[in-house]
Structure 1
Amino acid sequence: MKPLCGAAFLLLLLCAAATAQSPCICEKNKRVSNCRMDSSGQCRCEAIGSGVTVDCSTLTSKCLLMKAEVMGSKSGRREKPKDAFEDTDGLYDPECENNGTFKAKQCNGSTCWCVNTAGVRRTDKHDTDLKCNHLVRTMWIIIEMKHAERNAPLNAESLKKFFTDTITRRYQLDGRYIASVLYENPYITIDLKQNSSAKSIGDVDIADVAYYFEKDVKGQSIFHNNAGLNVSIDNEPVKFEKTVVYYVDEIAPEFSMKSLTPGLIAVIVVIVIAVVAAIVVLVLTRRRKGKYVKAEMKEMNEMHRGLNA
């Protein structure tokens, strides 16, 4: 009887080992390799470019996704409140911590900069001596989309329900982090807010959600089946012309004049030139007026002398 029990126990162990080693598909991330089922039945894979093991039952961190993407393409990605700023750098090869988060300091050769938890540059670029004391949290992400021209505006309530349901189900974000979904034809604005004190262990990060969402909208889905996000409001498909993501950090970014956009710099230059021109005109006008007064006084003096002669 004992040999039979021992054989049965060994068979169970072999089945468990086979299950743990059986291949699987990471439904929430196609940029992985060496996917295997673990002992608990969860699919786990190695992220391309970093080798970090990811849990396929939830979203992969943005840092690991960017690292995987840059390994496959060097062409780079196609690129409102007071301290909100865009990601103007696009794709780069990031340095990730073992848990998948961005390292506070990122470098490309001898050029370095500080990033937030969304991996977006928040300082000017410096040399390797740059100090980034800690990773600043992105507490508010604003996703702004402009839909294509329509005969009639969308239903605001239906739109809000669609995006709220999609973000909670498809991207597994707790609904309490969806601050608002606003519609002002033709713009749709989604506010995701998640400060460090509110985020619980195991909660999906809003930076990861925004990255997945942006890729879906642009037809570059990260999900294994390549099925992008089909936006349909009241059974009417909606197409987007433009999507922009803004980031607001717990600490304001540290950009100098060197980081201003060419358009803003041009506006500043025009204003400065206008002010200088106004000052020059004022000075010249005063000089001419002064010469006129002097000439007038000289003529009056000569006439006075003539009358007294």
Structure 2
Amino acid sequence: MKPLCRAALLLLLLCAAACAQQSPCICEKNKRVINCRVVNGVCWCDSVGSGVSVNCETLTSKCLLMKAEMTGSKSGRREKPKDAFEDTDGLYDPECENTGVFKAKQCNGTTCWCVNTAGVRRTDKHDEDLKCNQLVRTTWIIIEMKHAERNSPLNTESLKKFFKDTITNRYMLDGRYITGVLYEKPYITIDLKQNSSDKSSGDVDIADVAYYFEKDVKGDSIFHNNILNVSIDNEALKFEKTVVYYVDEIAPEFSMKSLTPGLIAVIVVVIVAIVAAIVVLVFTRRRKGKYVKAEVINFYLCCMCGEGVGQNAGTS
């Protein structure tokens, strides 16, 4: 009887192990995962590319999402804040901490640079000796979208309500971090602000929210079979362009070296054109001055000659 019980117990253990190896859950908030399993009633999966376990009940960090996306790949409006900058490098294969956040120093071969908490380059590119002493926090993210023409005009209040509800419900961001939704036809601007002192351990990061949102708007949703339907007052809202700006708690450290050759060429051409215009202006003024002076001298000589002729005629 005992051998039979042992065999039954062994069979149960094998069944439990087999069930544990299966994927009994779907990560609704991240489709770029593998090895999904339920742990204490929560769906946990391994992020593709890094193997870091992620909680599927919340958003996955932007660093892990970028890492997963790179796996197998080839690699009239409101004035922007002075230190706001765009992500001009796009997608790259990042180095992530075990917690999922970006490492302050990122490299591609022997070329390295420093990034902020959104993973966006904030310094010039250098060699491997570059020092990035800290991961600078992005405290303000500005999402700017240009919408296509609509049959009916957009209602500003409906627009604000839609985006605030979407960001708080779909991306689980506390409403206090949404500091503004501005509409200046055809541009929509959303402000997300989150200081490190205000952010609690359970709050999602605004950088992760912005990344999820940008992917949704561009039709490349990270969610599993859950496409964002942007509809205001029962009419779909299509976007022609989406740009994200980042403002860090410490200003970025860019120099002229970071400018692209094309931009430098444009600057040089403009400077040469300005110098040429100044030279032409000075030269023209000088010629004009000489001409006026010559006219005055000729007039004076004529007067003198005329006066002499008159005197001679009277004498004779």
Q: Displacement, 1:145?
A: 0.8
Identity of aligned residues (%): 81
CA distance in 1, matches of 2:152, 2:268: 42
The structural deviation recorded for 1:275 is 3.3
What residue is the counterpart of 1:143 in the other structure?
143
Q: Report the TM-score when normalising by structure 1.
A: 0.84
Task: Describe the superposition over 1:135-171 as per-residue Cα deviations: whole angstroms up to 9, x where unpaired.
Answer: 0100001111111112332111111111111111110
Name the aligned partner's letter for residue 27 of structure 2: C
SS at match of 2:123: coil
Structure 2 residue aligned with 1:36: 37
SS at match of 1:229: coil
Give distance in 2, aligned partners of 1:281 and 1:41: 79
Return the TM-score normalized by structure 2: 0.82
Matches within 5 A, 1:136-215: 136-215=136-215
Give the Cα–Cα distance (whole angstroms) in 2 for the partners of residues 128 and 294 of structure 1: 68
Structure 1 match to 2:274: 275
2:100 is the counterpart of 1:100: yes
Distance 1:112 1:176, change over 3 A: same
Written as runs of structure 1 = structure 2, the 5 A alignment for 1:39-118 is 40-75=40-75, 80-118=80-118
Seen in structure 2, the aligned counterparts of structure 1 residues 279 and 55 have a Cα distance that, compared at 3 Å, is same
Cα deviation, 1:198-224, whole Å, max 9, x if unaligned, reads: 111110000000000011111101111
Bigger shift: 215-224 or 257-266?
257-266
Query: What amino acid is aligned across from residue 244 of structure 1 in structure 2?
Result: V
Distance 1:261 1:177, change over 3 A: farther
Between the aligned partners of 1:290 and 1:144, the Cα distance in structure 2 is 54
Give the root-mean-square deviation of aligned CA atoms.
3.1
Q: Which residue of 1 aligns with 2:5?
A: none
Q: Which runs of 5+ in 1 are unaligned?
A: 1-9
> Is the 1:67–1:94 Cα contact (8 Å) retained in structure 2?
yes
Match in the other structure for 1:133: 133
1:119 equivalent to 2:130? Answer: no
Distance 1:260 1:152, change over 3 A: farther
Cα drift, residue 263 of structure 1: 7.5
Q: Which residue of 1 aligns with 2:252?
A: 253
> For residues 184 and 289 of structure 1, do their structure 2 counterparts lie closer, same or farther at Cα, with a shift above 3 Å needed?
closer
Distance 2:260 2:128 in 1: 24
Distance (whole Å) between structure 2 residues aligned to residue 175 and residue 16 of structure 1: 42
User: Kindly tell me: are residues 178 and 103 of structure 1, through their superposed partners in 2, closer, same or farther at Cα, counting changes over 3 Å?
Assistant: same
CA–CA distance in structure 2, aligned partners of residues 91 and 119 of structure 1: 10
SS at 2:201's partner residue? coil
Could you tell me how far 1:279 is from its partner in structure 2?
A: 3.4
Sort the Cα spacing of 1:26 and 1:158 in 2 relative to 1 into closer, same or farther, 3 A: same
| TM-fit CA distance, 1:131 | 1.0
Contact map agreement 1:142 1:245 (CA 8 A) in 2? yes
CA contact (8 A) 1:141 1:246 kept: yes
- For residues 276-308 of structure 1, give each alpha carbon's deviation from its aligned partner in whole angstroms, at most 9, with x where no partner exists: 12432354346647876699989x99xx9xx9x
**Counterpart residue identity of residue 28, structure 2:** E
Q: d(CA) in 1 for partners of 2:59 and 2:188?
A: 24
Equivalent residue, structure 1, for 2:314: none
Q: How many pairs does the alignment contain?
A: 292
Question: Any conservation in 2 of the 1:22–1:37 contact (CA below 8 Å)?
Answer: no
**Structure 1 residues 291 and 160, CA, compared in 2 at 3 Å: closer, same or farther?**
closer
Separation in 2 of the partners of 1:262 and 1:236? 44
User: How far 1:260 moved relative to its partner?
Assistant: 3.6
Match of 1:5?
none
